[in-house]
Structure formats: structure tokens, C-alpha cells
Structure 1
Amino acid sequence: MKEISCKLLVLGAGPGGYVCAIRAGQLGVDTVIVERAKAGGTCLNVGCIPSKALIHAADEYHKLHAAASGKSPLGLSLSSPVIDLERTVAWKDGIVGRLNSGVTGLLKKAGVKAVFGEARFVDGKTVDVETETGQQRIRAETVVIATGSAPVELPDLPFGGSVISSTEALALTELPETLAVIGGGYIGLELGTAFAKLGSKVTVLEAMDRILPQYDAELSRPVMKRLGELGIEVFTRTTAKRLSADKRGLLAEENGRPFEVPAKKVLVTVGRGPVTEGWGIQEIDLDRSGRFIRTDDQCRTSMRGIYAIGDVTGEPMLAHRAMAQGEMVAEIVAGQKRSWDKRCIPAVCFTDPEIVSAGFSPEEARAAGIEVRIGQFPFQANGRAMTTVAEDGFVRVVARADNHLVLGIHAVGHAVSELSAAFALAIEMGARLEDVAGTIHAHPTQSEAFQEAAFKALGHALHI
């Protein structure tokens, strides 16, 4: 058995793991990273990046269809469009391949040794990796667990055949005539919307009383409206039971009423669970918080010399959270003083329209006993939104009533994901309403709605 020793061993080359390894390498820390599949993890290979590529392709195809039907408000027209889904998937795979190679190159540039294979703990400082060329033992002073998460499977609808996860959905080369989506969260609605725009008949089944329950109802309302316009049927308070006897439909129950949904494919998106099994975790003694590994404000676990970052440590299960944790841990291992003191982590839902949430919602602030001022500005009064035929939605600012400190910023609308950095920066820097209102925002841009929302909260909106 080959043996190597290092100062830092990172398990998992997803967003958190590879960022941790790259930063550690930059700081001169002797680092090894182990990955069982491809560098980039779920996000790059079968999650964030490929899903956004598919969503963009679906948007463009939907616009062509509108033009072909004579419904384009821009006066555009053309003959009947077609889509070669196999070519679309190949284009998506090309993007993933380029980014995957980029991560591999960055690891190499930082002096990080990458080992590909299945890893198993022997003890708190030793890991065996089953590689293509045989078993390799790695001894490390410090270990970072960054094993990520995986789609949750339903007991009566296990993955396989017509029942698929988001991973298989992003690799389809033939458009399913009918698609049932179990779960009305962001993953299900992002992919369901994309397939509806491509031409599938999509039905969404959500167990709770509304879609996108992780966002407040005011933000999800424009999305629900758009789902209806796209012909997507949504059933709330509904549970999926099993496939029909002929495997061509899905049996479900809405408030005790059984019914069947036509479904050539059933996309299960009921959440993701931490990958904490299958790599010898029983050989080390780590405290848990439910299913997740418990960590402190430096991402340290209950066992000295072992850190954990990303999805395996719990919500919010977001790639950018994992990246920030990975960068922090690398600097701690290199001897720097760091701790997790983020004021907010923005969350983005790439539905149509998009949703951004940063900081406290009005309900969360009030529940914390804070009196608030709220300013909301509609995109219907924003010139840039009008010119892009995307007037649905708004920007909302939540601030303390006493000193006007901004506590939360939220938006729903076309391409509002690009405003997420401005929202997070304002909260992270401790901006007040006067700071946002006093910052000149370029005209004509959707960002002006941010400034106008601050004006509204101060009592003097200019354009409504």
C-alpha cells in the first residue's frame, strides 16, 4: 500500500472542498484533496451550473415559440422553432467540462495533490483511498470533511427507471411528454419550469400548503402566477404515493382525495441529505446535530484536528456558504485568526421570475421583537424592467424603525439574481436606509428599484 503524509487532507472536491484546498495551497500548506468522482462536486457537475445552462436554453426556446406564435410583444416573428435536446445537453456538458478542468488546473497551480477514489477513515488522522491503481493511505495532521449532500429518496418511489433525481433530469436527451415533479421547492420548480418551457406537460405536487415554503408568501406569489401562465398544474397539500400499475402515471392524494397524474418521468425533489455514510465515519467519534455534523464558529467538529464544511454541516445548503467556510478553514489551518461572523448569506431561486432573499424577512424581524420600516418598489415602475418586458415583481427593504439599519433585502423579478451581491454587501457593511438612498444607482437599471425601496421606507419614494 502506498502511503503519503500531509498537513491538510480535504475529503471532497466540491465548492467547499476545492476552495479550501486551493486557499491552503496558496498559503503554503501541504495539502491533499480526495474526490471520488470529478472536481467541482454536485454544484459544478450535476447541480448549479448545468441546471442554469438548461434553464437558459429553455428560456431562449420559449422566446422563439412566442415569436413563432405571433405573441411576441416586441413584434418579432419566425417560423416554427425546434430544439435538439441532445445538442443542448452536449453544450451544457461542454460548459461543465471547461469548469471542471479549470478547478483541476487551479488545484495544481496551488500545489495541491489530488487523489481520485473512494476514501474511508481508519482513524482521525488516517484515510485509505481505493484508487484505480490500488489502495493508498494518507496520513494528515488536519482533516476537513467536505462530502456534501445527495438527493433524498422516497421509500415508495426509489430512484430508477422513470423515477429520477435532478442528476438524471439534467442528462435527459429526450424530452418527456409528461413530467411529474414531487416537491415544490426551488430545485423542483427551477427544473419543472425549464421542462415546461421546452414543451413537457408538467405537474407539481407539494405536501405543504404552498410552493417555495422557505420563502415568504409575498415573494412566491409572482412565481405561482407564472407557473399558471406556463400551463404547469400545481397541487398543494398533496402527497405522492407510488407509480401506477402500468408505470405511465403517478398515484397521488390531495387532502385525502386519490388521483392519478400522467407521468412518463417522475422527478423527485423533496430535499437533499448530508453524505455522512459510506466513508468510515463510524471509525471516528463526531457529535451530530440531527443528520448533520455539528461544528462551531470555526467549523471545528467535536474531534480535535477534524473540521467539517458545506452541506454536511446543515442549512443553508448553498455552494457559496461552503466556499466561504472552506476559505476560512484554510486560513485557520495556516495559523490565521478567523471565525464565522457573516451577517447574511443570500439565497437565490432561479425560477421565472427569480427570487433573492438576504437577511430578515418582515415576519422574522418582528418575531425577533424588532420594530421595522418596510419599503417596497414594483418593477412596473422601473424603466429598465419595462424595456425587457419583465415588469412582474418588486424589491423590498426591511430596516429597523429606530436607527434605520438594513436587516433584510428581498426581490422577485427577472434577473434579480444579479442584485444579490449588492443586497448582501449592504447588510454585511451595516448600511442604513440613508446609505442605500444616498448611493447613486445607474439609470436605466433594475438596481434603481433597490434605491427606490429605500426611499419608500424613508417616506419619500420618487417614482411611485
Structure 2
Amino acid sequence: MTQTLKTKVLIIGAGTGGYVAGIRCGQLGLDTVLVDGGDGLGGTCLNVGCIPSKAIIHAAGKFETVAKAAGDGTLGITAASPAIDLSQTVAWKDGIVRKLNAGVAALLKKAKVRVIKGWATFADAKTCRVETDDGPITITAEHVILATGSEPVELPFLPFGGDVISSTEALSLDAVPGRLVVVGGGYIGLELGIAYRKLGAEVAIVEMAERILPLYDKALTDPVMKWLTDHGVELHLGARAGGFGDGKLSITTKDGEPVQLDADKVLVTVGRRPRTQGWGLDNMGVAMAGPFVKIDDRCATSMKNVWAVGDLTGEPMLAHKGSAQGEVVAEIIAGHDKRFDPVTIAAVCFTEPEIVSAGLGPLDVAGRDDVITAVFPLAAIGRALAIEAGEDGGFVRVLASKSDHRLLGVQAVGQHVAELSNSFAQMLEMGAVLEDVAGVIHVHPTLGEAFHEASLRALGHAIHI
């Protein structure tokens, strides 16, 4: 027998957009049901994306540090040759995920959000049927928030399965592959490819573009390129992948030459697409913007009281964007006058070294003569040298308007610069000018001093260069 529920707010998807929307709805006293379609509370980010990948990257960094201490040692530290049991590393990573899952569940319970685990299928814009282990449930709602997230893109000639894996499987391998070929030189492929190189795998990267991380300017990606070259990562740029069989991946090089690459695993990371199939989107009558659900600055779709947040709504497909949208929608439903209109959404590549970008970059202002650009190298920052983060070509760069010195963008590349991203975004969101950054007394010794010095340099009077 089908159970029937009526609720004020129905949220489909328990990722960072959906569960945050649920918690905020609960805080605002809205009767809320959250349907978790399978990834688990926290969605892709918490379960098979942001969090577990950073755990594996962290473990790989520790392994590399110990490996450097073997033989002649490093910084006066010597150690025996390291070994890794990847299954134990994965178990540690899984423990972190379980802890965070439990934390999200507790927060939803505290907010009095009812969580239903099962797959939802919509019959119309406000009614869905959820198949659960205890039988089907029909839910009708006054408001629906779509937060179904995204999924890895599969290449037709390299379907996932066996030794052809997505980022999801790459985070749960039971052993380090001897030879890993990564198809796709974007941030996901590079993050994982670098991690597995640190763990001892031979790594090759196949990228269609002429360089890695093609969405970023060359100055930002050069230090990452140098790390890859220095660490023996085989690069095939301007190349196209073909089929895989008998432990070999076929590629066509930039010059049109067919090549066979040995591969124990082929990691396909050619992008992600919004999860729009299999849950009845076609029955909801919402307008689309290409592959994404079309929304306005309130995250409202073309159907009244149907909202959409997160990866489903377009680029940038970042967890923190979805969370911010989820909060906005909850507050709008509760009667608040809100808009989703950020000045910037900062992005981080957790490569080696890390890359941060917020606001406009050089590619966005090419040809303009009304912009000041200034770069300050991490090699001139004491803290960077003290933690071995000053010799890989890292820097902080600021872009500002010549007329009023308003910050337009901030970028950085270097070890640990991800932790500067919030400072960059905060200054841009507040409409800071160069003098605002220059006037803040930055703590010494920290990497953040490079932001201060870059702003001073843009004003014509950097101190330490």
C-alpha cells in the first residue's frame, strides 16, 4: 500500500545544496521532507568527491614526505623506505565520510527535517513517488527544491567498468595501480593523478587541449606543469583517447600518431554533467538552459514554487555554490527578500601546487588598458620558505581597476594557498579597493602576507621586493 505525505517543502537530493536547504528550512520552521536518492547524506561532495579526495590527497602527501626522508633524507630527517597499504588508507577515508554523514544526519534531525531514503520520480511539478525499502511513498508539496547534483561524464568508447574507472572508484581502490592513465587534464584528473604519482604509481595524462587546466591562464598552471614534469608524469597534450583493451589504451597524439599506453587502470575525468535523467524532470514543465535547469536570481525555475540549486543549475559546479543557493531558497520560501547574486565564487584546484581563482583573471581582461595587475612571489615570503612552499614558482596576483583601485580578481598558485581563498572572496564580496587590503595588518609569518604585498605592489610600493 502506498503511503501518502503532504509537506510545505520537498527537497530532492541530499548533497551540499539539498541538505543545507533542508537545515535552513527547518531552522525557519518550515515543514520539510528531504529525499536522499542514493549517494548518501552530503551527496557527491561528502561521499565520493570533495572530502574523500582531499583525504586521499593528504595521505599521498604524507607518504611523499616520508619517501623524501628515505635514503639521504630531507631537512636532516631520515627514515626507512615507506610502504602503503591503500586498503587501510581507504578505510581511514571511509571513517571520515561516516563521521560526516552522521553529523549531517544529526543536524537534519535537530532541524526536524524528515529524511526519506529512496529514488524519487515526479508525476508533475509538485508530486513525486519515492521507492523505499519499506514500500512506495507519494509526496505532494507546496514548494519543491531540486538538488539532484551531477555525475561523471562517460565516454562512449571508454564506458565505466572493470579497469576503466571514474573518480568515484579511484577513491576506493584497494591497491596503488602500477600504471595509471588519466583521460582528462582538468582539476579532478590532475588532483587524483598527482596523488597516485605521490603514492608510487606511474602516471600518464591524456588531454585534448594543448595544455593542462585549460580554463586557467598559463601563469597559474605553469607551476603545476613543472611539478608533473619534475616527477616523471607522462603528458600527452593535444591528444585524443580511444579504446581500451588487453591493458592498453589507444590514443592519437597531437601529430596524429597512434600510440598504445600501458594501463592497469584508466581514470576518465572529462567532466561532470547535471543529473537530469531518471527522476521525471520532463514531467515538471521547467525551462532548461542547455543541459541545466534554468533559474533566475532567486533560484526559481519557470514553474511556480519549484526551485533548483547546485550543479543542476550550471557552472560553476561547486559545492559551496550549492550550499549558498540552498540557504537563499529556504529564506525566500520563509518570506524573506533574498537574491543569489554573489560578486564571486572562488574556486580551488587541489593540485601540486594548489591553485585559487576568485573574480576576474587575465583572460577576462585581455585587451583592456584600465586594469592594474600585480604579482608577488611566494619566494619572497618567509613563511613560504620555512614550510618548503617558496621554490615552486608560486605567487599571489591581484587585478584592480585603474580608476578607483577596486579589486576585480585575485589568484594564487602555491602550496597551501587554498586557505587564502576565503580572504580573496571576502575582499571581492565587500567591494574592497587595493588600499583596503594594504591597510589591513597581515599576520607575520603567514602566506597571507603575499596578498598584502601584491596589493602594495599594485599601488607601487611593495616592501619585500
TM-score (norm 1): 0.98
Flag as ranges the 4+ runs of structure 1 deviating above 4 A. none
- Provide, for residues 165-210 of structure 1, a one-character-per-residue CA deviation record: whole Å limited to 9, x for no partner: 0000001011110000000000000000000000100000000011
1:192 aligned counterpart, secondary structure? helix
1:312 aligned counterpart, secondary structure? helix
Matched, 1:62 2:88: no
Aligned-partner Cα distance in 1 for 2:370–2:73: 46
1:362 CA drift (Å): 2.3
1:306 CA drift (Å): 0.5
1:431 aligned counterpart, secondary structure? coil
1:237 CA drift (Å): 0.4
**Hey, what does 2:271 align to over in structure 1?**
271
- Provide, for residues 235-280 of structure 1, a one-character-per-residue CA deviation record: whole Å limited to 9, x for no partner: 1100100114x2x110100121110111000000000000001001
| Residues 370, 400 of structure 1: 8 Å contact kept | no
Matched, 1:252 2:277: no
Q: Name stretches of at least 5 consecutive residues in structure 2 with no aligned partner.
A: none
**Hey, what does 1:51 align to over in structure 2?**
53
Q: Which amino acid aligns with 2:272?
A: R
1:284 CA drift (Å): 1.5
Q: Which amino acid aligns with 1:251?
A: S
Aligned-partner Cα distance in 1 for 2:118–2:288: 26
Aligned-partner Cα distance in 1 for 2:458–2:428: 16
**Hey, what does 1:291 align to over in structure 2?**
291
Matched, 1:188 2:189: yes
**Hey, what does 2:139 align to over in structure 1?**
138
1:442 CA drift (Å): 0.4
1:181 aligned counterpart, secondary structure? strand
**Hey, what does 1:282 align to over in structure 2?**
282
**Hey, what does 1:330 align to over in structure 2?**
330
| Residues 40, 100 of structure 1: 8 Å contact kept | yes
**Hey, what does 1:162 align to over in structure 2?**
163
1:390 CA drift (Å): 1.2
Aligned-partner Cα distance in 2 for 1:88–1:376: 38
Q: Which amino acid aligns with 1:263?
A: A
Q: Which amino acid aligns with 1:452?
A: E
1:362 aligned counterpart, secondary structure? coil
1:227 CA drift (Å): 0.8
C-alpha spacing 1:335/1:370, structure 2 compared with 1 (3 Å): farther
**Hey, what does 2:383 align to over in structure 1?**
384
Taking the TM superposition and a 5 Å limit, the aligned residue runs for 1:231-246 are 231-244=232-245, 246=246
Aligned-partner Cα distance in 2 for 1:143–1:370: 47
Q: Name stretches of at least 5 consecutive residues in structure 1 with no aligned partner.
A: none
Taking the TM superposition and a 5 Å limit, the aligned residue runs for 1:290-309 are 290-309=290-309
- Provide, for residues 337-393 of structure 1, a one-character-per-residue CA deviation record: whole Å limited to 9, x for no partner: 0011200000000000000000000231346x5611111100110000000111120
Taking the TM superposition and a 5 Å limit, the aligned residue runs for 1:35-46 are 35-37=36-38, 38-46=40-48
Report how many residues are paired: 460
Taking the TM superposition and a 5 Å limit, the aligned residue runs for 1:215-226 are 215-226=216-227
**Hey, what does 1:99 align to over in structure 2?**
100
Matched, 1:227 2:228: yes
Comparing 273-282 with 185-194, which one deviates more in the overlay?
Answer: 273-282
Q: Which amino acid aligns with 2:383?
A: R
2:260 aligned counterpart, secondary structure? strand
TM-score (norm 2): 0.98
CA RMSD, Structure 1 to Structure 2 (Å)? 0.9
Aligned-partner Cα distance in 2 for 1:166–1:139: 35
1:385 aligned counterpart, secondary structure? helix
